[in-house]
Amino acid sequence: MLKNDLYLRAHRGESIPRYPVWLMRQAGRILPEYRILRSKLSGFKELVETPGLAAEVTLQPVDRLDVDAAILFSDILVVPDAMGLTYDMVEHRGPYFSETIRSEADLFKLDGEVDVKERLSYVFEAIKLTKEGLNNRIPLIGFAGAPWTIFCYMVEGKGSKTFSEAKKLLYTNPVLAHELLGRITDVTIEYMREQVNSGVDALQLFDSWAGILGREQYAVFGLGYIAKIVKAFEGFPFTVFSKGALGSLIDMANLPCTALGLDWNMEVELARSLVKETKTLQGNLDPCLLYANKKTIEGETKKLLNSFKSPRHIVNLGHGVYPDVDFEHAKVFINTVKNYETKYA
Ligand code: CP3
């Protein structure tokens, strides 16, 4: 039994004395102890692939920020890596794949059969160690990238403002696009299933590049695959965070997941009117708010909390916390939520 299960109760729509709060990308760069550990290592991948270290970094924000959920320290790019397309995390630049998938012939760069249990054993080991370290204090969230976002990196090979190579493929070779998206989906389902078997209490899909597709394309190349994944976990606490996909929210109301993540462009009341009471909403303050002074952070956080009209909310930022944010400011945000009693106890 978890000592603090507010996050899970919010997923289920149960009564709660206060709203749960955590930060996307909380495990990492905003904490000085993370930066110290990181500076001693060869790189990001060493941290991700060493279970003891990944578990340690997962627990750092739990101790320091006192959040209501932990998120496993890892990266969405371990999935293409396991499929045979390895990445490097280049300092100050981001991910880089030396090989990309842009034609049928490129599919041969991928492994035909992916032994997920074996290839990603370091993740499952990190989950087990993290669960031991958490000692039932709060739930642990496992995660993966949504197929569309993983596809973007596998086609483009690196970050991009437009991901126009990835989008180009949707117009020039939709058959290949569907083949690749299907393969990513199958590996992701197995990956998330093994995360659950290893002990995670909830799951989240990050679709960071959802917003670059129009509603119709997102339905076909994004949500169709997300629906397949979510269906495999029906009844399990599951958040779908499709950043920038305000125009698709009405379609997402039909996904069999328990929660939807909102970015700061999605007005909470409008989102609620579109998805009704069938889902918990997570979010959605502007990550840049944490650059403001403490009084402003507190005021804006209370404004968000006052706008909630049901217990089905998990408080978070509308995207990952930025690395140069002062963690004391993050703490003001978290404490404001923790001191706010709901009407739904
Ligand atoms: O939320 C957490 O704290 C758990 C850990 C986590 C990381 N990446 C660690 C990380 C999670 C959930 C992610 C998800 C992720 N990774 C996404 C989806 C969420 C989002 O932000 O949109 C994406 C698109 C990636 C891919 C990725 N990883 C990029 C583009 C980069 C480089 C840019 C950046 O954000 O730093 C990374 C690197 C990365 N992943 C770091 C961390 C802590 C920084 C690496 C470092 O320590 O140098």
β-pairing, 202-207 vs 140-145, is parallel
pLDDT tens for each residue of 249-284:
999 999 999 999 999 999 999 999 999 888 999 999
Q: What are phi and psi of 124, to 5 degrees?
A: -65, -35
Q: 1 lies in a domain?
A: no
Look at residue 19 and give its three-state secondary structure. coil
111 Cα–ligand 1 center, Å = 24
User: Across residues 16-41, what is the average pLDDT?
Assistant: 94
CA distances from 217 to 174, 220, 223 (A): 11, 5, 9
By alpha-carbon position, which residue is closest to atom 11 of ligand 1?
Answer: 75
User: Across residues 233-258, what is the average pLDDT?
Assistant: 97
Q: What is the CATH number of the domain that holds 89?
A: 3.20.20.210
Residues annotated catalytic, as ranges = 25, 29, 38, 75, 153
For the ranges 26-40, 144-158, 190-204, which has the lowest average pLDDT? 26-40
Q: 71 lies in a domain?
A: yes
pLDDT tens for each residue of 178-221:
999 999 999 999 999 999 999 999 999 999 999 999 999 999 99
By alpha-carbon position, which residue is closest to atom 34 of ligand 1?
Answer: 94
Amino acid occupying residue 65 = L
Q: 343 lies in a domain?
A: no
Beta partners for 282? 261, 314
pLDDT tens for each residue of 36-81:
999 999 999 999 999 999 999 999 999 999 999 999 999 999 999 9
Domain limits for position 321: 6-338
Contact 144, 200 (CB under 8 A): no
User: Across residues 8-21, what is the average pLDDT?
Assistant: 97
Whether the pLDDT of residue 345 is over 90: the answer is no
119 Cα–ligand 1 center, Å = 20
How far is it, in rounded angstroms, from Cα 226 to Cα 30? 30
CB burial string 141-150: b at 16+ within 10 A, e below: bbbbbbbbbb
Whether the pLDDT of residue 325 is over 90: the answer is yes
Ligand 1 atom at minimal distance to the Cα of residue 143: 12
Alpha helices in 283-326 (DSSP H): 294-307
Q: 229 lies in a domain?
A: yes
Q: 227 lies in a domain?
A: yes
Q: 345 lies in a domain?
A: no
Q: 139 lies in a domain?
A: yes
Whether the pLDDT of residue 28 is over 90: the answer is no
CA distances from 6 to 12, 198, 276, 282, 285 (A): 10, 21, 21, 13, 20
Q: Give the tokens for residue 6.
A: 């507010």
Q: 344 lies in a domain?
A: no
The residue to which tokens 């076909």 are assigned: 220
- The pLDDT value recorded for residue 276 is 87
- The pLDDT value recorded for residue 46 is 96
25 Cα–ligand 1 center, Å = 7
- Tell me what the pLDDT averaged over the chain comes to: 97
Whether the pLDDT of residue 295 is over 90: the answer is yes
- The pLDDT value recorded for residue 278 is 87
- The pLDDT value recorded for residue 161 is 94
State the greatest distance between any 2 C-alpha atoms of the chain, in Å, as a whole number: 58
Percentage above 70 pLDDT, the chain = 100
Burial of 39 by CB count in 10 Å (0-12 exposed, 13-18 middle, 19+ buried)? exposed
The residue to which tokens 């993050």 are assigned: 330
- The pLDDT value recorded for residue 223 is 98
Instruction: Pick the closest to residue 213 from 180, 272, 168, 172 (CA basis).
Output: 168
249 Cα–ligand 1 center, Å = 24
Q: Count structural domains, the chain.
A: 1
Ligand 1 atom at minimal distance to the Cα of residue 91: 48
- For ligand 1, residues with CB inside 6 Å are 24-29, 38, 44, 71, 73-77, 89, 94-95, 143, 159, 206, 208, 320
- The pLDDT value recorded for residue 92 is 87
How far is it, in rounded angstroms, from Cα 56 to Cα 47? 10
- The pLDDT value recorded for residue 64 is 94
By alpha-carbon position, which residue is closest to atom 43 of ligand 1?
Answer: 28
Examine residue 335 and say whether the peptide bond preceding it is cis (omega within 30 degrees of 0). Answer: no
What's the pLDDT band for 29 if we cut at 50, 70, 90?
confident
139 Cα–ligand 1 center, Å = 20
